[in-house]
A and B are shown apart, each in its own frame.
Chain A
Amino acid sequence: MDSTMLITIWLMTGAFIGGVVTPVLAANRAVNGWLAMLGGMVVGMIGNVVLLVPVWLGLSRAPRLDDHRPAWQRDAITLEGVRQGASAGGVTAGEQAQSLTALLRDNFWPAARADREHSHRGTYVGVFVALAVITAIEVAISFWDGAPFNIAIPLSILSAGKVMLVVLFFMHLRYDSRWYSWIFAFSLPFAIIVLAVLAVAE
Chain B
Amino acid sequence: MSIDIELVADEMRDHLTDIEPDVMEPEDIHLPPPSLAPITLGLGAALLMLGVIFPPLLVVGLVVAVGGIWKMAHFPEVDLHPHWLTFLNDRKLGMWVFLASEVMFFSALIGAFIAFKIQEGFEEAHEVLNLPLATVGTTVLIVSSFAVVMGLEAIQSSDRRVFRNWMLVTLLLGLTFVSIQAVEWYELFDHGIDETTLFGTAFYVTTGFHGLHVLGGVAWLAMLLLKARRGDYSAQNHLGVELFGLYWHFVDVVWIVLFTVIYLIH
Chain A interface (Cβ < 8 Å from any Cβ of B) = 1, 4, 8-9, 11-12, 15-17, 19-20, 23-24, 27-28, 33-34, 37, 41, 45, 69-70, 72-79, 82-83, 86, 88, 92, 94, 106-116, 119-121, 124-125, 127-128, 131-132, 135, 138-139, 141-142, 151-152, 155-156, 158-159, 162-163, 166-167, 169-172, 177, 179-180, 183-184, 186-188, 190-192, 194-195, 197-199, 201-202
CA distance A45 to B189 in the complex (A): 24
Q: Which of A106, A142, A183 contacts B96 (CB 8 A)?
A: A183
Say whether B96 contacts A184, CB under 8 Å.
Answer: yes
Say whether A1 contacts B186, CB under 8 Å.
Answer: yes
Contact A114:B229 (CB < 8 A) given known A82-B8, A171-B245, A194-B111 = no
**CB-defined A-B contacts under 8 Å, sample of 10:** A4-B55, A12-B58, A77-B15, A112-B157, A131-B146, A152-B265, A155-B260, A166-B145, A170-B145, A186-B100
The residue in chain B whose Cβ has the minimal distance to the Cβ of A73 is B231
The residue in chain A whose Cβ has the minimal distance to the Cβ of B126 is A142
- In the complex, how many angstroms separate the beta carbon of B47 from the nearest chain A beta carbon? 13
- In the complex, how many angstroms separate the beta carbon of B2 from the nearest chain A beta carbon? 10
The residue in chain B whose Cβ has the minimal distance to the Cβ of A123 is B149
Of the listed residues A37, A138, A167, the one surrounded by the most CB atoms of chain B closer than 10 A to its CB is: A138
Residues in A with CB closer than 8 Å to B69 are: 20
The residue in chain A whose Cβ has the minimal distance to the Cβ of B218 is A20
Say whether B114 contacts A195, CB under 8 Å.
Answer: yes
Contact A114:B16 (CB < 8 A) given known A132-B139, A142-B263, A184-B96 = yes
Q: Which of B150, B235, B253 contacts A124 (CB 8 A)?
A: B150
Task: Say if the beta carbon of B153 comes within 8 Å of chain A.
Answer: yes
Task: Say if the beta carbon of B197 comes within 8 Å of chain A.
Answer: no
CA distance A194 to B218 in the complex (A): 29
Decide if the interface of chain B is mainly helix, strand, loop or mixed: helix
Say whether A184 contacts B264, CB under 8 Å.
Answer: no
Say whether A177 contacts B88, CB under 8 Å.
Answer: yes
The residue in chain B whose Cβ has the minimal distance to the Cβ of A82 is B8
The residue in chain A whose Cβ has the minimal distance to the Cβ of B231 is A73
Residues in B with CB closer than 8 Å to A159 are: 256-257, 259-260
Say whether A170 contacts B58, CB under 8 Å.
Answer: no
Say whether A114 contacts B158, CB under 8 Å.
Answer: yes
Of the listed residues A119, A132, A151, A194, the one surrounded by the most CB atoms of chain B closer than 10 A to its CB is: A194
- In the complex, how many angstroms separate the beta carbon of B82 from the nearest chain A beta carbon? 9
Which 7 pairs, one residue from A and one from B, show the smallest C-beta to C-beta distance?
A73-B231, A191-B107, A110-B154, A187-B100, A159-B260, A198-B115, A187-B103
Residues in B with CB closer than 8 Å to A24 are: 222, 225-226, 229
Residues in A with CB closer than 8 Å to B62 are: 12, 15-16, 19, 41
- In the complex, how many angstroms separate the beta carbon of B77 from the nearest chain A beta carbon? 12
Say whether B101 contacts A199, CB under 8 Å.
Answer: no
Say whether A108 contacts B58, CB under 8 Å.
Answer: no
**Which residues of B81-122 have CB atoms within 8 Å of chain A's CB atoms?**
86-88, 92-93, 96-97, 99-101, 103-104, 107-108, 110-112, 114-115, 118-119
Given pairs A37-B70, A135-B142, 12 additional interface contacts (CB within 8 A)? A9-B182, A17-B175, A23-B226, A34-B70, A78-B157, A86-B1, A108-B162, A135-B139, A138-B260, A190-B104, A195-B114, A198-B115
Residues in A with CB closer than 8 Å to B186 are: 1
The residue in chain B whose Cβ has the minimal distance to the Cβ of A28 is B229
- In the complex, how many angstroms separate the beta carbon of B169 from the nearest chain A beta carbon? 8
CA distance A184 to B250 in the complex (A): 11
CA distance A61 to B175 in the complex (A): 25
CA distance A194 to B108 in the complex (A): 6
Task: Say if the beta carbon of B138 comes within 8 Å of chain A.
Answer: yes
**Which residues of B145-167 have CB atoms within 8 Å of chain A's CB atoms?**
145-146, 148-150, 153-154, 156-163, 165-166
